[in-house]
Amino acid sequence: MSRIAYVNGQYRPLRDASVNIEDRGYQFADGVYEVCEVRGGRIVDVPRHMARLQRSLRELRIAMPMSLAALTVVLHEVVARNHVHYGLVYLQITRGVARRDHVFPAPGVRPSLVVTARSLNFEKNQLSASRGIAVATVPENRWPRVDIKTVALLPNVLARQTAREQGAYEAWYVGADGFVTEGSASNAWIVTHAGVVVTRSAERGILAGVTRAVLINLLADLQIKLEERPFTPEEACGAAEAFVTAATQLVMPVVTIDGKPIGDGAPGPVARRLREEFHRFSEFS
């Protein structure tokens, strides 16, 4: 079965779907994106993803290509046309097509919109969670506006590749101050021996993850204490547990950092419970 993509007003087989070579997303990474989890054929936390999308667009002064309602219809249509039961839906908006010039194009240039969806292997994801993942630390080298979910992901690509070459799944950025900011495509968390869950404040240095926000609601409900503060890789190595969060990972236990085991080197009970109960505070549509 051929996958279907939405590209600027048309649903097309993926192999025929293409964008103009002068699209500013292609030439300058001048665009933003969102990734939502699909579960049971429904999209998870659309309003939160849409709110972050609108904020990213505002910060970069890119117009919405269509109304929120219409965009939501397209997301659901792409999920349905690709028969995704469990997986992800990806959307990307760029500043549009114009002759290459760093300055913004004329106001009439329409933003480009691409939406794709694909199935993921649920069992494989669960197996990773039951084993836990390895993390490798890398120096923070991104621009300061990591709060914007832009498609300019070259430092993230290089960090993830470095991790992979060291036998790790995810990379954790460590700032010049010695503190972990976040993962190359996830937020970073630890659990102290006192059972306190710690993650960096979303005010600076990280992307405000949707999964992070939902998890904070769950922590409150479970009366698990949360501290929003930075931590170092050394504190993480000495912690009881560590995990990462992202739309397609949910709560994914981390069992080693730079080859050093965390706790007993196996996923811990807090991460396991948070993963199991995660969707209690998600919105499905």
Residues contacting 135, CB < 8 A, separation 6+: 163, 168, 169, 170, 171, 172, 183, 242, 244, 254, 256, 257, 258
* Residue 140 touches ligand PDD, criterion: CB under 6 A: no
Choose between 245 and 256: whose C-beta lies nearer to ligand PDD.
Answer: 245
* Residue 93 touches ligand PDD, criterion: CB under 6 A: no
Total residues binding ligand PDD (CB under 6 A): 14
Tokens 């036998």 -> residue:
167
Could you tell me the smallest distance in angstroms from the CB atom of residue 88 to ligand PDD? Answer: 8
249 close to 126: Cβ distance less than 8 angstroms:
no
DSSP, res 239? S
Taking CB under 6 A as the criterion, the residue among 209, 230, 233, 253 binding ligand PDD is 209
C-alpha to C-alpha distance for 166 and 177, rounded to whole angstroms: 24
How many CB atoms within 10 Å of residue 179? Answer: 17
C-alpha to C-alpha distance for 285 and 76, rounded to whole angstroms: 9
Could you tell me the smallest distance in angstroms from the CB atom of residue 82 to ligand PDD? Answer: 17
82 close to 3: Cβ distance less than 8 angstroms:
yes
Taking CB under 6 A as the criterion, the residue among 38, 53, 133, 210 binding ligand PDD is 210
| Residue ranges in 32-61 that form contacts with ligand PDD under rule CB under 6 A | 35
Taking CB under 6 A as the criterion, the residue among 112, 150, 211, 282 binding ligand PDD is 211
Please give the single-letter amino acid code of residue 256: T
* Residue 187 touches ligand PDD, criterion: CB under 6 A: yes
Could you tell me the smallest distance in angstroms from the CB atom of residue 209 to ligand PDD? Answer: 3
- For ligand PDD, which stretch binds (CB under 6 A), given 12-20, 119-127, 182-190, 266-274? 182-190
Residue 142 falls in which region: left (phi positive, over 0), alpha (psi -120 to 50) or beta:
beta
Residues with a catalytic annotation lie at 149
Please give the single-letter amino acid code of residue 197: V
C-alpha to C-alpha distance for 271 and 269, rounded to whole angstroms: 6
Choose between 29 and 266: whose C-beta lies nearer to ligand PDD.
Answer: 29
231 close to 137: Cβ distance less than 8 angstroms:
no
| Residue ranges in 225-284 that form contacts with ligand PDD under rule CB under 6 A | 245-248
Choose between 160 and 272: whose C-beta lies nearer to ligand PDD.
Answer: 160
**Which residues form the interface with ligand PDD (CB under 6 A)?**
35, 182, 185-187, 207, 209-212, 245-248
